[in-house]
């Protein structure tokens, strides 16, 4: 009843090509963004910020990055953790060696360095596809992990291999409290999501999707595989690099290369697969699912008042979480984003079945 | 570097000529010393029994296969080696025997993808999607809508192509090729697997494309009725060798062609 597009006529191609052609969607998203910026800070506590909001947002950004590469361009990658590490250490080194640099520039630099490394490791994609490419990107993951653990210059010769960032500030405003960090992350994520959406629905995005769906046909309409694949690697790595820098600076504060190991790559890949390949919304849903579900499961016995040892709870958490992933993949292999789309489709007709 | 525009070549002059092309895969010879030409503005059919080398011929013209011998000149430029991208850039578009659409994209996006080469704005503008990038996107949407109108597929423009029936998929694929505004359009069995009505529609579109946009068309087709009605001239291949090259009426009477199709008593 409420969710109807009847009567909303488009009079220009611009309106027809809007991100949310249906007015209700538009209001909902504006409402959500306003809620995130204005309402949440009124009541959120430190736990909500540091354990829920900030991790979900930063990992969503990484998931968007991987989704551009895997979901939109069809190039499977297991090197996400490594590219995040490139972003983190690039940002660290710039902030360390040129302390006066603006924080935005630091994160841009992180993205650009990750972009360069990503393009370099993306070159094999011109020759190999699918699982073989996944193995090639896995090699990049191991190489980068090794480089940041062994090449001491990256960690500024810290004896333990662990590095820490100093005080953060932007245009003289400190970014210290969880709320300030959250707002900073949220602003970056909103801006970069919009940029990703624009790229995807533009010429570049069509080139990626064409390459994903049928590379031969893409080539005969004048899409260079080299350009399409490497641009996907570039944009994807940029997003992943920025998210890596955000993760290191705003979530961890101090970290060692282990923070970006192969488990991180798998975590992001699971987010993309569970959320939905080829969907920006899916990147957010997947990140939220993977981050929040363990927290929820962990607290469930406490909420229900079932006495249980912490060890048992954490074992159960792993088992139930694993089972849920399998369940979701069987019920909807196209991910949570597809479930959402189906729900919207049904809502359009509700309460009438036809 | 772009080849000269086709408008420099008057109608009736040679647009593309294939000279002594030989193509083999290992020991299998797919094409042997084949030569023919395609004149601007005509509908040229390539026919022949199964395995005659028709699709291989299109693949050579299109840059998928590099012939071992011979050359191809398009718009007066002779080339021996080239990539499909160069063919597209030069103005050669193509549809496939088994539909090769981008399955995850809508019909509209498929056709818009055909305009990739015509769009010039860089990634930075696309990312901001304001000013010139937005104008360009809308400009090209308009051109695509013209093609959608032309092919009468307005109702399905937002439908993912994987969900469309076969006949409509073929039409969208033709739309994608048309969006490139090609000088030469290669159609590989545009009517394969269609019912009579769909064939009639497709024939009408092919004639209209030729008439309306002045596009030169080379098509492979097995339905002889269609071939004889549509084409101006016909090349007949058999086992990789050209056995006839004439108007439809002459080809129909050609003994070598009849033998190739019906077989000869040994």
Name the residue among A156, A91, A144 with its Cα closest to residue A257. Answer: A144
Name the residue among B38, B45, B18 with its Cα closest to residue B220. Answer: B45
DSSP run (H or E) holding B92: strand B92-95
Q: Domain segments of chain A: what residues?
A: 44-349
Q: What is the pLDDT, as a whole number, of residue A354?
A: 65
Q: Residue B38 phi/psi, 5° resolution?
A: -125, 125
Report yes or no for ipTM above 0.90: no
Report which DSSP code applies to A155.
Answer: G
Alpha-carbon A337 to chain mean position: 14
Q: What is the pLDDT, as a whole number, of residue B113?
A: 92
Separation CA A239–CA A57 (nearest Å): 12
Name the residue among B53, B99, B39, B98 with its Cα closest to residue B231. Answer: B39
Distance from CA of B1 to the nearest CA of A (A): 14
Contact A290, A352 (CB under 8 A): no
Distance from CA of B97 to the nearest CA of A (A): 12
Closest residue in A to B105 (Cα–Cα): A209
CATH of segment(s) A44-349: 1.10.3470
In this predicted structure, the answer to whether residue B7 has a pLDDT above a threshold of 60 is no
Name the residue among B100, B109, B110, B104 with its Cα closest to residue B162. Answer: B104
Closest residue in B to A196 (Cα–Cα): B127
Q: Does the N-terminal peptide bond of residue A351 adopt cis geometry, omega within 30 degrees of 0? A: yes
Burial class of residue B61 (count of CB atoms within 10 Å of its CB; 0-12, 13-18, 19+): buried
The separation between the first and the last C-alpha atoms of chain B, rounded to the nearest angstrom, is 54
What is the DSSP annotation of B11-39? TTSEEEEEEEEEEEETTEEEEEEEEEEEE
Residue A19 has which token pair?
């991100």
* Span B58-111, pLDDT tens digits: 999 988 888 988 888 888 888 777 788 888 988 999 999 888 999 989 999 999
Nearest to B85 among A12, A195, A224 (CB): A224
Q: Domain segments of chain B: what residues?
A: 15-91+224-266
Closest residue in B to A232 (Cα–Cα): B123
Asked whether the beta carbons of residue B114 and residue A224 sit closer than 8 angstroms, the reply is: no
Distance from CA of A205 to the nearest CA of B (A): 9
Residue B229 has which token pair?
């009605």
Closest residue in A to B99 (Cα–Cα): A217
- Better-predicted residue by pLDDT, B81 or B197: B197
Asked whether the beta carbons of residue A195 and residue B127 sit closer than 8 angstroms, the reply is: yes
Separation CA A123–CA A116 (nearest Å): 11
Distance from CA of A314 to the nearest CA of B (A): 40
Q: State whether CATH 3.20.20.190 applies to domain B15-91+224-266.
A: no
Helical segments of A214-261, H only: 215-220, 225-246
Q: What is the pLDDT, as a whole number, of residue B5?
A: 53
Give contacts of A206 with chain B, Cβ < 8 Å. Answer: 105, 109, 112-113, 116
Asked whether the beta carbons of residue B87 and residue A220 sit closer than 8 angstroms, the reply is: yes
Closest residue in A to B103 (Cα–Cα): A213
Contact B120, B136 (CB under 8 A): yes
Q: What is the pLDDT, as a whole number, of residue B1?
A: 37
* Span B154-174, pLDDT tens digits: 999 899 999 999 889 999 999
Name the residue among A145, A184, A139 with its Cα closest to residue A36. Answer: A184
In this predicted structure, the answer to whether residue B2 has a pLDDT above a threshold of 50 is no
| Mean pLDDT confidence for B114-143 | 85
Q: How many CB pairs under 8 A join A and B?
A: 100
Q: CA angle, corner A129, sides to A224 and B59, nearest 5?
A: 50
**What's the pTM?**
0.89
C-alpha gyration radius of chain A: 21
The separation between the first and the last C-alpha atoms of chain A, rounded to the nearest angstrom, is 13
Distance from CA of B168 to the nearest CA of A (A): 18
Q: What is the pLDDT, as a whole number, of residue B3?
A: 47
Residues of chain A with pLDDT under 70: 1-2, 353-354
| Mean pLDDT confidence for B112-140 | 85
| Mean pLDDT confidence for B127-149 | 88
* Span A62-91, pLDDT tens digits: 999 999 999 999 999 999 999 999 999 999
Q: Looking at chain A, which runs of residues are DSSP E strands?
A: 163-164, 169-170, 173-174, 254-255
Q: Could you give the maximum distance between any two Cα atoms of chain A, in Å?
A: 68
Interfacial residues of A (vs B; Cβ cutoff 8 Å): 12-14, 17, 195, 198-199, 202-204, 206-207, 209-210, 212-214, 216-224, 231, 235, 278
* Span B23-52, pLDDT tens digits: 999 888 899 999 999 999 999 999 998 888
């Amino acid at each position: 009843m409420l969710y109807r597009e009847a009567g909303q006529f488009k009079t220009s191609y611009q309106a027809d090509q809007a991100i949310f052609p249906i007015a209700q969607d538009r209001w909902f998203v504006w409402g959500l963004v306003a809620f995130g910026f204005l309402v949440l800070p009124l009541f959120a506590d430190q736990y909500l910020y540091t354990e829920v909001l900030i991790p979900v947002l930063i990992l969503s950004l990484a998931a968007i990055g991987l989704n551009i590469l895997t979901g939109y361009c069809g190039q499977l990658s297991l090197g996400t953790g490594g590219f995040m590490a490139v972003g983190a250490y690039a940002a660290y080194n710039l902030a360390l060696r040129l302390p006066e640099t603006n924080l935005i520039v630091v994160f841009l630099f992180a993205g650009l360095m990750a972009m360069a490394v990503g393009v370099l490791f993306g070159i094999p994609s011109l020759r190999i596809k699918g699982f073989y490419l996944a193995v090639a990107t896995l090699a990049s993951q191991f190489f980068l992990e090794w480089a940041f653990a062994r090449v001491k210059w990256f960690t500024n010769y810290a004896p333990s291999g662990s590095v820490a960032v100093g005080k953060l500030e932007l245009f003289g405003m400190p970014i210290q409290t969880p709320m300030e960090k959250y707002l900073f992350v949220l602003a970056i994520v909103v801006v970069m999501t919009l940029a990703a959406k624009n790229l995807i629905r533009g010429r570049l995005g069509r080139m990626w999707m064409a390459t994903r769906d049928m590379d031969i046909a893409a080539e005969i309409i004048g899409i260079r595989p080299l350009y399409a694949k490497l641009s996907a690697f570039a944009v994807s790595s940029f997003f992943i690099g920025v998210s890596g820098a955000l993760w290191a600076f705003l979530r961890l504060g101090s970290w060692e290369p282990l923070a970006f190991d192969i488990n991180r790559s798998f975590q992001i890949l699971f987010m993309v697969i569970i959320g939905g390949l080829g969907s920006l919304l899916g990147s957010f849903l997947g990140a939220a699912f993977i981050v929040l579900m363990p927290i929820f499961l962990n607290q469930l016995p406490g909420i229900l008042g079932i006495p249980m040892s912490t060890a048992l709870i954490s074992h159960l958490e792993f088992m139930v979480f694993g089972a849920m992933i399998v369940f979701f993949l069987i019920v909807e292999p196209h991910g949570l984003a597809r479930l959402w789309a189906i729900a919207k489709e049904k809502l359009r007709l509700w309460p009438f079945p036809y | 570097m772009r080849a000269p525009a086709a408008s420099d070549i008057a109608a009736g002059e040679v647009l593309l000529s294939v000279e002594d092309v030989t193509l083999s895969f290992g020991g299998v010879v797919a094409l042997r010393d084949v030569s023919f030409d395609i004149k601007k503005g005509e509908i040229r059919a390539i026919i022949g029994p199964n395995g005659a080398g028709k699709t291989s011929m299109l693949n050579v013209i299109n840059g998928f296969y590099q012939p071992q011998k011979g050359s191809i000149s398009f718009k007066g430029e002779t080339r021996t080696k080239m990539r499909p991208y160069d063919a597209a850039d030069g103005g050669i578009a193509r549809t496939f025997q088994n539909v090769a659409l981008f399955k995850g994209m809508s019909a509209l996006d498929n056709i818009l993808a055909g305009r990739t080469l015509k769009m010039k704005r860089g990634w930075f503008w696309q990312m901001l999607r304001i000013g010139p990038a937005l104008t360009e996107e809308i400009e090209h949407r308009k051109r695509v809508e013209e093609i959608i109108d032309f092919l009468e597929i307005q109702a399905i423009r937002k439908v993912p192509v994987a969900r469309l029936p076969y006949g409509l998929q073929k039409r969208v694929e033709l739309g994608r090729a048309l969006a490139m505004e090609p000088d030469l359009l290669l159609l590989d069995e545009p009517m394969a697997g269609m019912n009579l009505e769909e064939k009639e529609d497709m024939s009408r579109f092919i004639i209209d494309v030729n008439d309306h946009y002045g596009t030169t068309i080379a098509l492979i087709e097995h339905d002889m009725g269609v071939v004889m009605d549509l084409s101006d001239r016909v090349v007949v291949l058999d086992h990789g060798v050209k056995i006839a090259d004439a108007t439809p009426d002459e080809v129909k009477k050609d003994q070598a062609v009849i033998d190739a199709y019906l077989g000869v008593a040994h």
